[in-house]
């Protein structure tokens, strides 16, 4: 079985063919086109046939082309370096970071519609971009925002399912329970049971995905208010956009927090297909599980401390520094604390990444937000010091391929500053955001007819035998 060895290998291939710059320019041109059609579903219906033909041609013309080899290290090392998934909505470059349909985060901040001039991009705009590959107009984003508000209806049985859990249950446990309860109304499941033709699978998947994206902020806000605010629920505000409404339902009406939530949801929405939550969602959906089941499975992956739970761990670790050393920590004291953490067999949360080899652009844009709105915050200043202290120490260790901060290194400090101090809840915010990326790709999975995922596994004995045979031949 042969895969791309890495994104770098793919980049080299494009360079050899002399197509890299022209391809990027053409993609960028396509992305910045707009249309007056306000209906997202009709836009997709026009795009899908040409993309289906594109995939057929790709398979027919290049299906047997070998693009790299799998090593034993890759097999036993978490499949690092293998490229074995088709994921249309975003691509992660080790040096540049994430690109959403070819657009970097700074580019998205420039071209996607915002709630106000110079403001952060509206998540609805990113959803449109991920699904269509085109930058939407403000009118299209407003229409989509209105549609999501009409879909943001959560049945009573969902709240009952959540309420059946102890209030002490982790917020992610409650969140996944709520999503599973939403599955009762899955349009895909109903259509499949009635015998829908596979060429139409994308249509009920679209309905489920958009409803899911609309519903999860309501469920997530309910859980937050249930655990931390005596159960006093705040309803959807029909005048607010997706990010601002989520902030409002949580209980935060400061316009700056609305902007923060728009930024947070946008940059956490998608990070190509190989991370645990995205891959899990794709894997489960490949069995034709509906979007609710697939997304719930993805959330359980996101809840792991090596993935989405890391944003919780970062703030707790930073607060542990303050508790032991104080807010006015010196560089030496901070270095000593970092070494103490590492020598105890723990990691410094918020640093390193499985693919990135430079500072995460998602960290950078959050830092810019902090410099604009909260430059004197003590925890933000501590995060800035960590940026100077931690990478050289991790480099000195010699075991870390990427010593630079990732998205989790900053998000908790921003939320904490504006009053969302409950670190145990942070991964739920991540989960709400990730519904946009996972939901978008699931629609394309069904539209393109992607098959059941079934890689080959091996035993240590079979690896040993294979390697011995290869060495002797």
Residue whose structure tokens are 């690092």: 80
Among the options 268, 353, 410, 417, which is catalytic? 353
Cβ partners under 8 Å of residue 101, min gap 6: 27, 31, 89, 90, 129, 130, 133
Residue whose structure tokens are 């705040």: 234
| Burial (Cβ within 10 Å: 0-12, 13-18, ≥19) of residue 152 | buried
**In 80-188, which ranges are E strands?**
90-93, 97-100, 103-104
Give the dihedral of Cα atoms 260, 262, 263, 268; nearest 10 deg.
Answer: 120
DSSP state of 168: T
| Burial (Cβ within 10 Å: 0-12, 13-18, ≥19) of residue 74 | middle
DSSP state of 183: G
41 φ, ψ (degrees, to nearest 5): -65, -40
d(CA 389, CA 348): 11
Nearest to 104 by CA among 164, 180, 24: 24
CB 84 within 8 A of CB 9: no
Active site residue 408: yes
DSSP state of 355: S
d(CA 204, CA 186): 8
Cross-strand partners of 97: 93
Among the options 307, 360, 417, 445, which is catalytic? 307
Among the options 241, 270, 408, 445, which is catalytic? 408
Residue whose structure tokens are 């933000």: 380
CB 445 within 8 A of CB 286: yes
CB 154 within 8 A of CB 210: no
CB 307 within 8 A of CB 127: no
**CA 184: distance to chain centroid?**
25
> Other C-beta atoms within 10 Å of 81: how many?
20
| Burial (Cβ within 10 Å: 0-12, 13-18, ≥19) of residue 45 | middle
Q: What residues act catalytically?
A: 307, 353, 408
């Amino acid at each position: 079985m042969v895969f791309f060895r890495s994104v770098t290998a793919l980049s080299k291939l494009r360079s050899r063919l002399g197509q890299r710059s022209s391809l990027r320019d053409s993609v960028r041109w396509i992305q910045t086109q707009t249309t007056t059609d306000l209906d997202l579903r009709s836009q997709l219906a026009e795009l899908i046939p040409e993309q289906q033909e594109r995939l057929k041609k790709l398979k027919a013309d290049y299906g047997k082309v070998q693009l790299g080899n799998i090593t034993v290290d890759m097999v036993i090392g978490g499949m690092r370096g293998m490229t074995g998934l088709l994921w249309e909505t975003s691509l992660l470059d080790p040096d540049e970071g994430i690109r959403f349909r070819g657009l970097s985060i700074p580019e998205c901040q420039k071209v996607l519609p915002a709630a106000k001039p110079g403001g952060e991009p509206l998540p609805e705009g990113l959803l449109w971009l991920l699904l269509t590959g085109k930058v939407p107009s403000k009118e299209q984003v407003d229409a989509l925002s209105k549609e999501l508000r009409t879909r943001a209806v959560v049945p009573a049985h969902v709240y009952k399912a959540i309420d059946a859990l102890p209030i002490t249950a982790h917020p992610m446990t409650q969140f996944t329970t709520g999503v599973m309860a939403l599955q009762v109304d899955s349009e895909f499941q109903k259509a499949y049971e009635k015998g829908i033709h596979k060429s139409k699978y994308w249509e009920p998947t679209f309905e489920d995905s958009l409803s899911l994206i609309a519903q999860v902020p309501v469920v997530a806000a309910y859980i937050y208010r249930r655990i931390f605010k005596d159960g006093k629920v705040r309803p959807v505000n029909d005048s607010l956009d997706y990010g601002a409404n989520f902030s409002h339902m949580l209980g935060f009406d400061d316009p700056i927090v609305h902007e923060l939530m728009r930024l947070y949801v946008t940059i956490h929405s998608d990070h190509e297909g190989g991370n645990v939550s995205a891959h899990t969602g794709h894997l489960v959906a490949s069995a034709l599980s509906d979007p609710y089941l697939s997304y719930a499975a993805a959330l359980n992956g996101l809840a792991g401390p090596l993935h989405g739970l890391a944003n919780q761990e970062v703030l707790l670790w930073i607060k542990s520094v303050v508790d032991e050393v104080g807010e006015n920590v010196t560089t030496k004291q901070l270095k000593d604390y970092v070494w103490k953490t590492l020598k105890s067999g723990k990691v410094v949360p918020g640093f390193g990444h499985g693919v990135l080899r430079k500072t995460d652009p998602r960290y950078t844009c959050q830092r810019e937000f902090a410099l604009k709105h909260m430059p004197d915050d003590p925890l933000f200043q501590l995060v800035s010091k960590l940026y100077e202290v931690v990478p050289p120490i991790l480099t000195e260790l010699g075991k870390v391929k990427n010593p630079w901060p990732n998205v989790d290194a900053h998000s908790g400090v921003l939320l904490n500053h504006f009053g969302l101090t409950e670190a145990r809840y942070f991964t739920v915010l991540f989960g709400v955001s990730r519904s946009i990326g996972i939901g978008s790709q699931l629609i394309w999975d069904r539209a393109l007819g992607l098959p059941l995922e079934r890689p080959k596994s091996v035993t240590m004995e079979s690896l040993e035998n294979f390697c011995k045979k290869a060495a002797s031949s």
